[in-house]
Amino acid sequence: MTDLTNSFLHRKNILNNNAAVQEIYKQIGFLGVKFDGKYRFTKQQLAYFFEVDVRTIDRLLEDNKDELAASGYEVFTGVRLRLLKDLYTSIVTIDDEDDINVGLINHDADNEIIGSKASSAGVFTYKGFLNVGMLLNSDKAKSLRSAILDIVIDVLNTKLGGNAKYINQREEEFLPSAIREYNYRQEFTNALDFYITDNKFKYSQLTDKIYKSIFKEAAKEYRQILKLSSSESVRSTMYSEVLDLIASYENGFADFLRKKSEKAERKLSLSEAHLIFSDFEEMTEAIYKPSKEKARSIMASRDMAFRDALHEKLKEYVREVSSDDFNKFLGEKSISLEERLLENKDVFLRLKDR
């Protein structure tokens, strides 16, 4: 099981996964006071929940200031503090402590929000509360971490039917990218047919050249990492940005190969084609470098978060997955490829009738 206390990356990915955070909120049941559209919690509330001293929360803040600030911790002063005090007071007055876990706070003489003399107060959002739970060393925090991991897995399984292999197909851009790539793949294979002498290995070897240039893995390596069977297409599991770059490579190399063959006024051997690809790769290195770095980061980061798959050769490119990415693949607009094809059935029929 992932040790969240030691993995900043995993903590960030969980907090960026809004679908999981919403489900955690439903299941954990630790509610807060809604202020400015977000649920808020005082340090006393967190100390009470995690069964630790407030000073423990203070030390955690000192050691993880930037991370907790990024997850929503902030210090209230002035008008915002007064409004929050009034909100807490009104809630306690209507005797609603059980719903928001403020009962203990109302009787705490040192409470920084309820206390009339407080000039500032540290306040957490719900993500901040979860962030503390993923950092704190207490039995209650350990239980929360275990629940968080279980819920994250359940959300993925529910959304994906227990299989993250084709999560890449759930974003809107996958289908147009797959269609574009298919067309450029035809250009690529046609060029290999027209300009390279007969050799049954030319398609796989030159395809691997492209894969290795973009993401450092041959098709066989990629297949092993994602645990794909021999009958499953590797490109069916690739993200749209990676497919777009592969299409660009295939189209560019097809044209480059054509020019070399026409200049030689003959078909080229496979060994010559390998050398020509090296020339093409060197010539386009500066052009493709930003796109390759982006593709590597996307593949390494998303596969780590969504598929629990590590691309060993791309470890240095692993980053947190953004909230936008989680929404793209798990949010309301994300649907399976089959559903998207049905959704666009009329469009395909119109194109067919042209």
Q: Which residue has the higher pLDDT, 78 or 101?
A: 78
The pLDDT confidence band at residue 190, using thresholds 50, 70 and 90, is very high
- 313 and 210, same domain (yes or no): yes
Q: Which of 276, 292, 308 is nearest to 7 (CA)?
A: 308
Quick one: which of 274, 264, 267 has its CA closest to 191?
A: 267
Same domain as 232, residue 155:
no
pLDDT of residue 7: 94
Judge if 251 and 104 occupy the same domain.
Answer: no
| Angle value at C-alpha 288, between 202 and 328, nearest 5 degrees | 100
Residues with Cβ within 8 Å of residue 81, at least 6 apart in sequence: 113, 118, 119, 120, 121
Per residue in 219-232, pLDDT (tens digit) is 999 999 999 999 99
Q: Are residues 338 and 241 in the same domain?
A: yes
Share of the chain above pLDDT 90, in %: 74
Report residue 131 as tokens. 């962030």
Residues 99 and 221 reside in one and the same domain: no
Domain limits for position 217: 167-352
* pLDDT tens digits along 102-157: 434 444 434 444 456 678 889 999 999 999 999 999 999 999 999 999 999 999 98
Checking if the pLDDT of 348 tops 60, the result is no
Same domain, 172 and 303: yes
Rounded CA separation 99/91 (Å): 10
Domain boundary among 160, 187, 222: 160
Residue 296 confidence (pLDDT): 98
Looking at residue 93, its pLDDT comes to: 54
115 and 171 fall within a common domain: no
| 105/199 same-domain check | no
Identity at 286, one-letter amino acid code: A
Q: What is the pTM of this model?
A: 0.84
Q: Are residue 154 and residue 184 in the same domain, yes or no?
A: no
Residue 341 token pair: 């094809």
Among residues 125, 160, 195, the one where a domain terminates is 160
SS3 string, 183-206, reads HHHHHHHHHHHHHECCCCCHHHHH
User: Domains in the chain: how many in total?
Assistant: 2
Q: What is the DSSP letter of 266?
A: S
Domain boundary, last residue among 118, 145, 160: 160
Give SS3 for 234: coil
**Directed axis angle between helix 240-264 and helix 202-215, to 10°?**
130
